[in-house]
Amino acid sequence: MSTLFDKIQGQDRPLKILKRAIESNRIPTAYLFTGPPGCGRKKAAIAMAASLNCETGGLACEVCSSCKQHTSGTHLDLHITEPAPGKTGILLDQIKSVIGKAILMPMQGKFSVFVVDGAHTMNMEAANTFLKTLEEPPATSRFILIAPDRDSVLPTISSRCQTLSFSPLGRNIVRKLLEREGIVGERAKLLSSMARGSMERALTYQSEEVPEKLANEFEPLASLHKSDHKKLLDLAERWGRNREEALGILDFMVQWYRDMMILSLEGPEDQVIHISHLPELQEGATALKAGSLSAILEAIEDARDDLNKNTNVELTLDRLLLTIRSYAPVQPI
């Protein structure tokens, strides 16, 4: 018989641990699921919640009334908390609501399950308030926190959770999932390459027509290592008008310089994302070499971290572009 866990692709190791916990009836009070968005963390949380209250007494069967209510999000004992629309983090009042419900008895099943999707976005006050409940958890409540990695959550929180790491999805898995959504051929191949292991990101790129929007950025990106100061400042201004768009540009830059790195190390061309721009990538790979490309990729990740900490967008990009330019080989006089 199939279960809800069977619908989750590419996560054999964490799912095996979760299934074993259900089958042995040894379920921790709190889990921390880590990994990139769109890799199956939330689906696994729902499958775990459904298993705890499945009418069969075992792994979520998909067909009982309780499991169907979990998959539709209507079960009275499933509580999902995430940043409210327009907000960047989970607020103290939301955590107080979780705590208020956690001390009550379940309304339908054996357990109340609280999924905190975006646990890393809790501010210090919210996290410390939540900590008190994790320290003395109600017997009939279970908690599943979702975050990018263990270090993004307060150590006092993560130390009270069993951490399960979910891996980025392989390209072939993302491509097959896209094909199920009706996205096929070269489009599916491109999106699965750009998605960096996240089905959620692939679908966002599709719905927002990101490949088309980025088409105008290939030329300036290809010439960054030989652009003058004024052009770099102009690019920082253009790319820095919106934080989310700037983060999208950084994702694009990671793909671009990663492609160069593959070529510089004489890796397989079928791993190159932007293969239609092979000449420009070859030129950049030849000019910059692997050592400089590695440093550039690290600088991009540092810029991404800065933007996520609400630094000034244009200044962050300005600094990054000047750093990239500094790795360009000295031109002969």
* 147-178 per-position pLDDT tens digit: 999 999 999 999 999 999 999 998 899 999 99
Q: What is the pLDDT of residue 14?
A: 96
Cβ of 127: how many Cβ atoms within 10 Å?
A: 20
Helix ranges (DSSP H) in 73-198: 92-102, 124-135, 155-158, 171-180, 185-194
Record the pTM.
0.78
> What's the pLDDT tens digit per position in 56-102?
999 999 899 999 999 999 999 999 999 988 888 999 999 999 999 99
Average pLDDT, the chain: 90
Cβ of 228: how many Cβ atoms within 10 Å?
A: 9
Q: Return the closest-CA partner of residue 10 out of 38, 37, 31, 40.
A: 40
Per the CB < 8 A criterion, the answer to whether 314 and 236 are in contact is yes
Candidate from 16-25, 130-139, 212-221, 309-318 with smallest mean pLDDT? 212-221
> What's the pLDDT tens digit per position in 290-310?
889 999 999 999 998 888 877
Query: Is residue 329's pLDDT more than 80?
Result: no
Query: pLDDT category, 333, cuts 50, 70, 90?
Result: very low
Domains of the chain: 4-165 (3.40.50.300), 208-326 (1.20.272)
Sheet bearing 162-165, strands edge to edge: 78-81, 112-117, 141-147, 30-34, 162-165
